[in-house]
Structure 1
């Protein structure tokens, strides 16, 4: 088992005044054998962080480490890839001209299968592992359903013998009836193989089902992070509370909002990432911020990220300790 760690990672696109920090100084740890759920709305930078973990997005500053070694350098001279990614759209990530068995076989390290017969046996094993009939090995992606293609994508990721898997919105392109089956498969495989996993989604209901730790991302930064049960029972950042209120209510997660919500604030679109607001980045949309409670002027000028490590759940909110406890609690 291995630990994946992001140390003050920044990913910047563009130059000059039009440059955008899609990921802005993120520090996050995926402990060995645990699932970290990364949740946030579209444009928050989740997928960019995922791509940085596997070398598909340039890291402008900071480091991505696996057991203390740089992920990029660790791959050199070692079988497989230490960190593997499962993409959101399995049809786009599979070559439509190749049989899916061949796509999976490409990812099998030579150390795991030295000859063609060994490679075929390994592919068959991986297909059975993800719940696919071995007869599907000779199919092309267009001949499979969305759920089957996503299972192939999982098999291909596992073929590389990874220490950590990054799963980026892997259920969002699937029918609702298939999502639960794939989530159960992911959770079972993670526990069976004791993998570390960074599980990314915009849906907090999905994230809380599989995660040991939940990290909430907003405009390129982690605004809250902690054990899943603690974050769900007592979220300390207003943005986390908004995400939780928007998630389907079930199994005791339903909660009443103790403070009045000004929908004229919460319905505001996210700021332009080229022109981020001063102070707290969430304050133009915050239901308990300075646009609702004028006395909270610190939110307009002071960045709460600086003191976040000292607050409960590393919350990037000046008033995290003053938020009333929610009335609902996880069951």
Structure 2
């Protein structure tokens, strides 16, 4: 088990786009951090920076307090499972070759035995060893991708939207597999998703990302049961809720339906203010949200919420939709 830590990490694409902006985030040893946010929030870019596929422009990424250095040919202590199981495996390589390619060097017979063990670990029959990816279903390919990541003996596993490309009928099976493997192997894991219900199911800690920044982070039960940032509340409200037919007031609906800001030109002040139901578009006395960045004082707020009014937003909001989802699934 190892701790993965991002300290002030910034990732830019060219001069125009800052995809990740000064992110501080810790994946504690042996725990699962669920990173959630809508498309374009910077989640996958942060993951790619961790495994060396994107170069940080600023900040550092540490493993057990030591800066990560991705050298060609060196062992990779972080392994990543990608979103699309149909493109993450080479169609010209057998399942055995794909998994063995990620293993440390060793005798050929030992490597074959390890491939068989890993296939069994992810719930696939050993007779699949000579099959090609084209002969497998999406769920089976994702299991192979997980086995391939484990073949590298990672200290931290990063799972990037690993169920979003799968049929709903098999998403739960893959999630159960990931949760079981994490507990049995005591892996540290960064689990990325846009689905809060999925994140709640597998995570010990939840971090919410918006326009390249972490806007709320804390224990999963606390963040999802008592969210402090308006964006987290919007994500929760978007989750299906049993028996709920109520609509927000017209003024709140107006900002809730607003398009996300252009990441090439993020808003000044609070980045969420053009969509915020408690911000200056609704409350004219909150013009400071237009100019003052709330991240500067986030460490002093509950869940490190990047919102000037996080403390003032505390109120009884009723049962979390995710708690109801969990009850429905039992």
TM-score normalised over the length of structure 1 = 0.93
Distance 1:55 1:255 in 2: 45
Distance 1:314 1:257 in 2: 29
Query: Alignment partner of 2:61: what SS?
Result: strand
- Alignment of 1:150 with 2:142, yes or no, is yes
- Alignment of 1:267 with 2:257, yes or no, is yes
Query: Alignment partner of 2:86: what SS?
Result: helix
Query: Alignment partner of 1:55: what SS?
Result: coil
Distance 2:100 2:48 in 1: 23
Structure 1 unaligned residues grouped into runs of 5+: none
Equivalent runs, 1:185-264 vs 2, <5 Å: 185-249=177-241, 262-264=252-254
- Alignment of 1:173 with 2:165, yes or no, is yes
Partner of residue 133, structure 1: 125
Equivalent runs, 1:23-172 vs 2, <5 Å: 23-72=20-69, 80-110=75-105, 114-172=106-164
Query: Alignment partner of 2:234: what SS?
Result: helix
Query: Alignment partner of 1:142: what SS?
Result: helix
Deviation (angstroms), 1:325: 3.1
- Alignment of 1:298 with 2:298, yes or no, is no
Query: Alignment partner of 1:12: what SS?
Result: strand
CA RMSD of aligned residues (A): 2.0
Cα distance change, pair 256–166 in 1 and its aligned pair in 2 (3 A): farther
Deviation (angstroms), 1:178: 0.4
Question: Deviation digits for residues 23-82 of structure 1, max 9, x if unmatched?
Answer: 000000000000000000000000000000000001100011100112225x6896x421
Question: Deviation digits for residues 173-219 of structure 1, max 9, x if unmatched?
Answer: 00000000000000000000000000000011110000000000000
TM-score normalised over the length of structure 2 = 0.93
Deviation (angstroms), 1:256: 8.4
Deviation (angstroms), 1:85: 0.2
Distance 2:233 2:100 in 1: 44
Structure 2 unaligned residues grouped into runs of 5+: none
Distance 1:45 1:316 in 2: 16
Query: Is the CA contact (8 Å cut-off) linking 1:255 and 1:327 kept in structure 2?
Result: no
